[in-house]
Amino acid sequence: MHVKVLKKLTAIIVTLGMAAGISGADVYAGSGPNPHPTDSMAYLCIAYGGGDFKYLYNASQGEVTEIDGAEYDKSTNTMTLNNYKNGGTIVANEMGDDLKIKVEGTNNVQSIMVYGYGYGGSLELTGNGTLTVNENREEDSAIFIDGEIADSVFKLDRNTGLKAYGKSKKASVAVIQSKVEKNGIVFEGNEDMNSDVTANANTYITYRDAYVLDSNNKSTMYVCYPKDSTVTGEYAAARMVDSSSKEYYALYNIIRDDELGVIALKALDENGKEISMDGFELADDGQTIVANMVLPWRSTLNRYTLNSNPEYKPGYGIRIVDKYYNDEFKGKYYYVYKFVEKYDRLFAVAIENQQEIPIENKEIMGLYTPVEKKQYQYYYFNDIDTTGTENINNLNISLSKKSYTYNGKVQTPTVKVTDKSGKKVASSEYKITYAKGRKNVGKYSVKITFKGKYSGTVTRTYTIVPKTTSITKAKAAGSKIILNWKKQNVQSSGYQIQYALDSGFKKSVKTVNISSSKTVKKNLTGIKKNKKYYVRIRTYKSDKNSGKIYSSWSSAKIVKS
């Protein structure tokens, strides 16, 4: 099933049975699926085609289906595949930035699609099994993540075997409309694959989805009263037709608001369930009321600020509509709204005299400025096979040492490789390539390329840090400490000093950076009387690729003020 078609079919089902999602303009994601009480559109399902959707999680309906070989645990936000081989497309929407699919045994699915829609739509593949995706290349991409302006990323854990395929010239993994500036696709422990990830960015006008309140959305409803005199509030009923063409009444709360006007919200009990008409009766005289009925779906509006009041945080929304008459295009028109946040919802209130304005009229549009941001896309175009003849992700690959102190000589760690049982892998099964240099302060890579019964490449890194220094004098003088230390300007850019009220440097810690390695003294200020201070120092070297690389700390000096 094609990506756009699937999204459309999913949207149709959601429109009929679920509330609309959180705004695509702001990122709300945390852990787990979107918990919003009224606006969550979080779900996790497997789509088999022909409208057959089996839900493992559904925030709105709460109904889930048992699927052989697949289950979902909300407490860890993890879907587990255990020898699942029934195909279908895994679809996740608003499931947060910590959604995981744990792979156990051997598994096969058609594709994986994740949507963020402002709340969050990331995916991490984990587990020690293997997963094959889009083996027949029917989908454009095996794994497709549409952040829809959320902090969306894809990560493949080093222990997980993945076989993923794309159509000709299509990415096997694609992450689009993400708000993260880098590392949108991460293959843990495989720098060669990470280096093949392509990325680009573009500027977009941000948007918000809101319940639009204007004259076109007003409905005539029937006034009704509760049979129980203790029930307070104003109510009205809307005449509806169900799927079998049978008429019924739906109960709404009527709210009269200075900003929103007269609106009708679906009458819900304290548990969020619809209140039936059983406890209400229509007005005897057939009295009606006209209100903006707040339906479960919302409209997407581009975000703008009002030039004369840019500090109004909800901001303004503008939507542009193509108008036709007798199938003849009559032009584009824009409509301007003010965003208002009330009743746990975001409304868009129509601004008088700024509706149905021809796009050629620039006068009103000139009063507003679009809110623009950048969005990022990431693609991995190659076919993926991290399983090898034997999966290198199941190997334990380590360096004998991850940190050395500069001594003017080449320093090189040894590589140790063991399999999952702890048995050493013969050195004939891999080739080691060390980075050049390995003498000066800096970070260095070790590339391990496997061969024989293993395949793939893994990169490990280690660091050479500068020599440390030592404190030669630390003396209190009033509200300061006079500090001197031994100059250490070999492979060093400067110093960092810390002083605190405890030996663990956790209480009232202050940090001072010295930007010249030639400096050997400093007055530390802000010292309180009758206190015991602990003072330590270390060197650092600035590296254009790795930032500051620090030496170990010196021994701490104790100073009594």
Which is more confident, 291 or 547?
A: 291
What pLDDT was estimated at residue 15? 26
DSSP string, 139-152: SS-SEEEEEEEE--
Nearest Cα neighbor of 52 from 15, 85, 6, 3 is 6
User: Do 392-465 and 471-560 come out as alike in CATH topology?
Assistant: yes
Is residue 537 very low, low, confident or very high in pLDDT (cuts 50, 70, 90)? Answer: very high
Model pLDDT for residues 365-382, shown as the tens digit of each residue: 899 999 988 899 999 999
Prediction pTM value: 0.55
Identify the pLDDT of residue 23: 37
Q: Mean pLDDT across the stretch 426-444?
A: 92
Of 103-107, 339-343, 413-417, 450-454, which range is least confident? 450-454
What is residue 471's predicted lDDT score, i.e. its pLDDT? 96
Q: What is the mean pLDDT of the chain?
A: 89
Q: Any idea which residue has 């969550």 for tokens? A: 40
Strands 316-325 and 345-350, by their bridges, are unpaired
What stretch of H or E contains 362? helix 362-365
pLDDT at 16 (0 to 100): 25
Give the DSSP H or E segment for 192.
Answer: helix 191-195
Strands (DSSP E) found in 85-206? 89-93, 100-104, 106-109, 111-115, 123-126, 130-133, 143-150, 154-156, 161-164, 173-178, 185-187, 198-205
Q: Provide the pLDDT for residue 420.
A: 81
Q: Give the pLDDT of residue 30.
A: 63
Backbone angles phi, psi at 223, to 5 degrees: -65, 135
Q: Is the model's pLDDT at 452 over the cut of 80?
A: no
Question: Region 299-327: what's the mean pLDDT?
Answer: 92
Q: DSSP E strands: which ranges in 185-315? A: 185-187, 198-205, 207-213, 218-226, 234-241, 247-257, 261-266, 280-282, 288-293, 299-306
- What is the rounded distance in angstroms from the CA atom of residue 415 to the CA atom of residue 396? 10
- Position 14 confidence tier, pLDDT thresholds 50, 70, 90: very low
Residues contacting 460, CB < 8 A, separation 6+: 397, 398, 399, 415, 445, 446, 448
Q: Count Cβ atoms within 10 A of the Cβ of residue 223 and give its class: 0-12 exposed, 13-18 middle, 19 or more buried.
A: middle
Model pLDDT, residue 273: 85
Burial track 519-530 (b if 16+ CB lie within 10 A, e otherwise): ebebebeebeee
Query: How many percent of the chain have pLDDT more than 70?
Result: 94
Q: Domain locations in the chain?
A: 3-204+377-385, 207-368, 392-465, 471-560
Q: What are 54-96's pLDDT values in tens digits?
A: 999 998 777 788 899 999 999 999 999 999 999 999 999 999 9
Mean pLDDT, range 160-185, rounded to an integer: 94
The CATH architecture to which 392-465 belongs is Sandwich (2.60)
Alpha-carbon distance of 487 to 102, in angstroms, equals 53
Q: Would you say residue 389 has pLDDT above 70?
A: no
pLDDT tens digit string along 461-510? 999 999 999 999 999 998 999 999 999 999 999 999 999 999 999 988 99
Average pLDDT over residues 37-60: 89
pLDDT above 50 for 25: no
CB 417 within 8 A of CB 396: yes
What's the rounded mean pLDDT across residues 350-356?
Answer: 94
- The CATH code for residues 471-560 is 2.60.40.10
Q: Could you give the percent of the chain with pLDDT greater than 90? A: 68
Q: Is the pLDDT of residue 3 over 90?
A: no
What stretch of H or E contains 365?
helix 362-365
* DSSP state letter for 475: E
pLDDT > 70? residue 28: no
184: left (phi over 0), alpha (psi -120 to 50) or beta: alpha
Distance (Å, whole) CA 86 – CA 430: 37
pLDDT at 63: 72
N- to C-terminal Cα separation, the chain: 74
pLDDT value at 19 more than 50: no
| pLDDT at 553 (0 to 100) | 96
Alpha-carbon gap, residue 172 to 152, rounded angstroms = 17
Residue 388 binned pLDDT confidence (cut-offs 50, 70, 90): low
pLDDT digits (tens, 9 = 90+) for 256-302: 999 999 999 999 988 878 899 999 999 999 899 999 999 878 888 99
- Assign 318 to helix, strand or coil: strand
Task: Give the tens place of pLDDT for each residue, 210-257.
Answer: 999 988 889 999 999 999 989 999 999 999 888 788 999 999 999 999
* pLDDT reported for residue 288: 96
| Confidence band of 131 (pLDDT split at 50, 70, 90) | very high
Each residue's pLDDT tens digit, 87-119: 999 999 999 999 999 999 999 999 999 998 878
